[in-house]
Amino acid sequence: MRLENLKKAMGKIQSKTLVVAFVLCSIISFAQDSLLRVACVGNSITAGYGLANPATEGYPAQLQTMLGTGRWKVENYGVSARTMLKTGDLPYWNEPQYQMALAFEPNIVVMKLGTNDSKRWIWNVHGKEYKTDYKEMIRSFRQLASEPEIFLCLAIPGENRGWDIYNSYIKDSLNPRITEVALETGANLVDLHTLFLGNEKAWLMGDSVHPNIAGCTAIASKVKAAVTSQKPVISLVKGALEAPVAAAYQWYFNKEVIPADQGGTKRNLSPKKTGVYMVSIKPDKDDESRFVSKECLFEVGK
């Protein structure tokens, strides 16, 4: 249900102040589709490289099992060796799986592209283009009629000199860019990197890049928790919008980032304009995962 329709549905309410904002936030929070389609977009880690049977052992397959088939349909659109960068050696953009993912009209998109982009011979030349390409792909999904919710995944640790993959690049260059994309676009963020730290020997194959069955189980479990978690609820407290208690915040007005000097990174926000507000929260100080609230229409009294 779109905001304009919700607003019309509230036409009988005379007050156009905080009551409207509270009611619309509540309605939007509980709007659901009868069938939730999940598109897993990614490289070989999503595709299930090295597994005996990716169709049952890969993280998307395990995610489907964990979610069940009653209300969920998970599709694997991973392609090995692909990059998010259009200037990478094998861009995901050129693959039929990208078009298939769009045609799937997903309600949720889980994106895990970047490990191949972090190869030094690619990243050192084209890394500055990574955020631009990532944002464009997010827009391509958000333009769909299904208006999917986007979950970006931080890359898991990886170390393979023969493939020019170094965890220092993943940790210090790639993942910070992914975090910036999530904050700048209002997308959710799933921290798989922290999840794997200390578990690399148990969860990675001998190549030190690709997850084994146990690693795929860990990814699927983390993604399931993210896509099924209760979304942050914006409260109205003494004329201000209030986010749940968290380690960090980022507010948005009409889907644009509210700068820190305008209160955009505080728990409480005092709206100055009528429009749609959202907030991204980081629940755990030791986990970089972030979750974005549903849209909340706030109307300033006349």
- pLDDT of 72 > 60? The answer is yes
pLDDT band at 302 (very low <50, low <70, confident <90, very high): very low
- Mean of all residue pLDDT scores within the chain: 91
In sequence order, which residues have a C-beta less than 8 Å from that of residue 153 and are 6 or more positions away?
Answer: 42, 110, 111, 112, 178, 189, 190, 192, 223
Can you give the residue ranges of every domain in the chain? Answer: 3-31+233-298, 36-228
The C-alpha atoms of residue 291 and residue 301 are separated, in whole angstroms, by: 29
Q: What percent of the chain has a predicted confidence (pLDDT) above 90?
A: 84
Characterise 66 by phi-psi region: left (phi > 0), alpha (psi -120 to 50), beta (else): alpha
- pLDDT of 148 > 70? The answer is yes
Encoded tokens for 175: 């993942």
- Each residue's pLDDT tens digit, 17-30: 333 344 345 434 43
pLDDT of residue 238: 86
pLDDT of residue 186: 98
- Each residue's pLDDT tens digit, 210-229: 999 999 999 999 999 999 99
Number of C-alpha atoms within 13 angstroms, CB side, residue 182?
30
- pLDDT of 154 > 60? The answer is yes
Name the CATH topology of 36-228: Rossmann fold (3.40.50)
Mean pLDDT of 283-291: 98
- State the greatest distance between any 2 C-alpha atoms of the chain, in Å, as a whole number: 67
- pLDDT of 16 > 90? The answer is no
* Beta strand residue intervals within the chain, DSSP E: 36-42, 72-78, 108-112, 149-153, 188-190, 235-237, 240-242, 248-253, 256-257, 268-269, 275-282, 291-292, 296-298
Greater model confidence, 167 or 239: 167
pLDDT band at 96 (very low <50, low <70, confident <90, very high): very high
Alpha carbon distance, N-terminus to C-terminus of the chain: 27
The C-alpha atoms of residue 49 and residue 39 are separated, in whole angstroms, by: 18
In sequence order, which residues have a C-beta less than 8 Å from that of residue 162 and are 6 or more positions away?
Answer: none
Give the phi and the psi of residue 176 in degrees, each rounded to 5: -60, -35
pLDDT of residue 301: 66
pLDDT band at 271 (very low <50, low <70, confident <90, very high): very high
- Each residue's pLDDT tens digit, 110-143: 999 999 999 999 999 999 999 999 999 999 999 9
pLDDT of residue 34: 76
- Each residue's pLDDT tens digit, 186-204: 999 999 999 999 999 999 9
Provide the 8-state DSSP code for 301.
Answer: -
pLDDT of residue 193: 98
Provide the 8-state DSSP code for 290.
Answer: B
